[in-house]
């Protein structure tokens, strides 16, 4: 039944016939489209018959039918037996309000974390390498080589879905020597940073609702990948030696995926001892689980003997090794990699080919050259020394300028220190206030799915902030912490 009638007046207004005016058909289309979008013609409104409207407006009937047909193609109206009606999805002022969320339900989990999409430069941001120290000239030469090579034009095509063979081979050689990872180049999938590698793990290995263990406190990027895959995350507490799981945990909450940062727990900094690594591998084998080893910044080791990657301990075991060039090169490069266990390789081939496109080929070729020519190793050595000195300077500035009660954790690797604070100094209040002073320290409680009283503190990055600034920045942070404690 036709419930609404069109408001005659505005539809009957004459169309412009001035020289230079838009064609009559376009004017009528625009009038009706605006009326529908603006709610003047609500859903269900029946438009006048083409003959009647043509007569009223003094135009050809064909013009009106052409406009109605166009609106139908665009989905604004439906051509019904009773006449042409405004389609149901076009609700104007009088229609019911739009539903509050148009995204998939699982995306609502991100709402509490949502901040602006912008990314402003700031001091003390964890995870940011020393950008001004990056050997830009050498990198430009490596890129130039890739673009000047005889096959540079051919490399404008899609590449192999798993990435450039030259880079995969260079990474496998590098990993064997530097990280004790044992793999063939074919096991390596080049990704857009560690983040895509984590997303691939979730896509390849889980079904919605599967259980994933995450370190708590732990890396938010890993949790985001799991949330987007509709996994049920179980926060696993981290002690001074990293993730701790008992046989009861395995029996009662058997996971499909376990995410770990064994070389340098993020953000607390523990190294997972070898016995715990072996236990995890054994338990994962027994329960059909997969371990994701995120080895994001182990290249920058500042204290103690290097501990080889877990992947090398597992043989053909259930470890997926994730690496990134975001810290060792620069984050905007967006190059990372996933090392698949041989057992997964054959099964993963078809879905990977379907999901991936080989791109950024010249950057990948330049990266392969950078590694093979030894420039990567030299850059890493220089950065290791730089970060070691920066960490020392930060520790001294903390001792001198940060005169609120605190303990410092981590630091044998990487580019950040974690400072625990008593609960009287709420970390999110301090971190929010620090933003106004150009500091991007992260509140420790924000890394936890189920924060406890002790998960209160600040994660402070020293990678990309010059040491001369530490004293004044930490003095300011201490002042903000004291103010926060009075709130």
Residues forming contacts to ligand PLP in the complex (CB under 6 A) are 127, 193-195, 219, 221, 261, 266, 294, 296, 324, 326, 331, 336
CA torsion through residues 133, 439, 468, 461, sign: negative
The minimum distance between CB 304 and ligand PLP, in angstroms, equals 20
CB nearer ligand PLP, residue 301 or residue 476: 301
The minimum distance between CB 380 and ligand PLP, in angstroms, equals 16
CB nearer ligand PLP, residue 86 or residue 322: 322
CB nearer ligand PLP, residue 28 or residue 333: 333
Q: At a CB cut-off of 8 Å and minimum separation 6, what does 62 contact? A: none
Other Cβ atoms less than 10 A from the Cβ of 128: the count is: 22
Distance of alpha carbon 253 from alpha carbon 210, whole angstroms:
10
The minimum distance between CB 141 and ligand PLP, in angstroms, equals 24
Cα angle value 221/258/407 (rounded, 5°) = 65
Q: Pull the structure tokens for residue 51.
A: 């003959």
Q: Pull the structure tokens for residue 129.
A: 């390498």
The minimum distance between CB 166 and ligand PLP, in angstroms, equals 20
* Gyration radius of the chain over CA positions: 30
The minimum distance between CB 113 and ligand PLP, in angstroms, equals 15
CB nearer ligand PLP, residue 77 or residue 329: 329
Q: What is the DSSP letter of 417?
A: E
CB nearer ligand PLP, residue 50 or residue 324: 324
Burial of 434 (0-12, 13-18, 19+ CB in 10 A): buried
3-state SS class at 358: strand
The minimum distance between CB 323 and ligand PLP, in angstroms, equals 8
CB nearer ligand PLP, residue 164 or residue 297: 297
CB nearer ligand PLP, residue 219 or residue 321: 219
CB nearer ligand PLP, residue 235 or residue 471: 235
The minimum distance between CB 63 and ligand PLP, in angstroms, equals 56
Cα separations in angstroms, 255 against 200, 251, 283, 289, 322: 17, 9, 10, 6, 19
Distance of alpha carbon 395 from alpha carbon 418, whole angstroms:
11
Distance of alpha carbon 33 from alpha carbon 16, whole angstroms:
17
Q: What is the DSSP letter of 20?
A: T
By beta carbon distance, the residue nearest ligand PLP is: 193
The minimum distance between CB 195 and ligand PLP, in angstroms, equals 3
Q: Can you say whether residue 243 is alpha, beta or left, with left for phi > 0 and alpha for psi between -120 and 50 degrees? A: beta
CB nearer ligand PLP, residue 210 or residue 294: 294
Q: What is the DSSP letter of 444?
A: G
The minimum distance between CB 114 and ligand PLP, in angstroms, equals 18
The minimum distance between CB 12 and ligand PLP, in angstroms, equals 60
Collect contacts of 219-225 with beta carbons under 8 A, ≥24 apart. Answer: 219/259, 219/261, 219/266, 219/267, 219/294, 219/447, 220/113, 220/446, 220/447, 221/194, 221/195, 222/198, 222/259, 222/292, 222/294, 223/449, 224/110, 224/195, 225/195, 225/198, 225/199, 225/201
Cα angle value 473/478/484 (rounded, 5°) = 125
CB nearer ligand PLP, residue 159 or residue 414: 414
CB nearer ligand PLP, residue 26 or residue 237: 237
The minimum distance between CB 484 and ligand PLP, in angstroms, equals 25
Give how far the C-alpha of residue 380 lies from the chain's centroid of Cα atoms, to the nearest Å: 25
């Amino acid at each position: 039944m036709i419930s609404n009638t069109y408001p005659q007046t505005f539809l009957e207004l004459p169309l412009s016939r001035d020289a230079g005016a838009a064609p009559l058909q376009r004017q009528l289309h625009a009038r009706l489209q605006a009326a529908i979008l603006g709610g003047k013609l609500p859903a269900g409104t029946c438009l006048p018959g083409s003959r009647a409207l043509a007569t009223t407006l003094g135009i050809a009937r064909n013009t009106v039918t052409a406009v109605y047909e166009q609106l139908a193609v665009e989905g604004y109206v439906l051509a019904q037996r009773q006449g042409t009606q405004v389609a149901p999805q076009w609700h104007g002022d009088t229609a019911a309000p739009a539903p509050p969320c148009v995204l998939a339900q699982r995306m609502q989990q991100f709402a509490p974390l949502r901040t602006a999409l912008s990314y402003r430069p700031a001091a003390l941001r964890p995870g940011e390498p020393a950008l001004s120290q990056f050997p830009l000239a050498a990198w430009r030469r490596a890129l130039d080589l890739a673009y000047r090579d005889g096959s540079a034009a051919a490399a404008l095509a899609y590449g192999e879905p798993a990435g450039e063979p030259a880079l995969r081979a260079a990474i496998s050689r590098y990993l064997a020597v530097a990280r004790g990872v044992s793999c063939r180049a074919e096991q390596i999938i080049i990704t857009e940073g560690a983040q895509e590698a984590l997303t691939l793990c979730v896509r390849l290995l889980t079904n919605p609702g599967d259980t994933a263990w995450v370190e708590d406190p732990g890396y938010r990027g890993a949790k985001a990948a799991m949330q987007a895959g509709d996994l049920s995350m179980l926060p696993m507490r981290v002690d001074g030696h990293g993730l701790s799981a008992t046989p009861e945990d395995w029996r009662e909450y058997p996971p499909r995926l376990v995410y770990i940062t064994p070389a340098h727990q993020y953000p607390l900094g523990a190294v997972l001892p070898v016995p715990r690594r072996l236990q995890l591998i054994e338990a994962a084998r027994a329960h059909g689980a997969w371990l994701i080893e995120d080895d994001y910044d182990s290249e920058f080791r500042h204290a103690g003997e290097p501990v080889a990657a877990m992947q090398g301990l597992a043989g053909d075991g259930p470890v997926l090794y994730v690496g990134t060039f975001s810290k060792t090169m620069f984050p905007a490069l967006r190059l990372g990699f996933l090392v698949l266990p041989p057992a997964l390789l054959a099964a993963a081939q078809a879905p990977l080919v379907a999901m991936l496109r080989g791109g950024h080929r010249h950057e990948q070729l330049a990266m392969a050259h950078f590694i093979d020519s030894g420039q990567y190793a030299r850059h890493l050595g220089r950065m290791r020394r730089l970060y070691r000195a920066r960490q020392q300077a930060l520790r001294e500035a903390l001792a001198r300028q940060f005169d609120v009660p605190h303990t410092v954790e981590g630091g044998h690797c990487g580019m950040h220190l974690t400072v625990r604070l008593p609960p009287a100094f709420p970390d999110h209040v301090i971190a929010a206030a620090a933003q106004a002073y150009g500091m991007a320290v992260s509140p420790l409680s924000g890394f936890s799915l189920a924060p406890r009283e002790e998960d209160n503190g600040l994660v402070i990055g020293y990678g990309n902030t010059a040491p001369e600034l530490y004293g004044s920045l930490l003095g300011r942070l201490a002042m903000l912490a004291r103010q926060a404690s009075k709130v």
